[in-house]
Amino acid sequence: MEETVAEHIKKSVLYESDSSNTAILNIEPGDQLSTHYHPNADDIWVVIQGTGEFLAEENKTYPIKAGMIIPNLKGEVHGVCNTGTEPLVIVAVSAPVPVQAVFTEQNTPLNVCRK
């Protein structure tokens, strides 16, 4: 199942069980997944392709690239923007399900994500 999370961001569920799910995120260059947190689940990311900036609490950013694993534990604010020239592809493994997402206003996307 594929859904559009935001403009130019596609999310495809690869696997879902009673206890976890695995999805792939495709983020086009210059686009972002706004900061959010999951009050009930961990969300582990594996960067498969591309480069970007990981957005964390308190407007901190960290460069990310293919091969990195990023653990987003329950309640931790996180987001990402694609600062590269190719799609940023992330596999996200989340548990438990259903996963709730709360988007934040306090930690809005930073200028590094702007086209």
Tokens of 101: 């997402």
Per-residue pLDDT of the chain (115 residues; tens, 9 = 90+): 555 566 668 999 999 999 999 999 999 999 999 889 999 999 999 999 999 999 988 778 999 999 999 999 999 999 999 999 999 999 999 999 999 999 886 545 455 565 4
Distance CA 106, CA 35 (A): 9
What pTM, to 2 d.p., does this model score? Answer: 0.88
Q: What does the domain layout of the chain look like in residue ranges?
A: 2-100
Fold of 2-100: Jelly Rolls (2.60.120)
| 3-state SS, residue 111 | helix
With a CB cutoff of 8 Å and minimum separation 6, the contacts of 82 are: 27, 28, 29, 30, 31, 32, 50, 51, 52, 88, 113
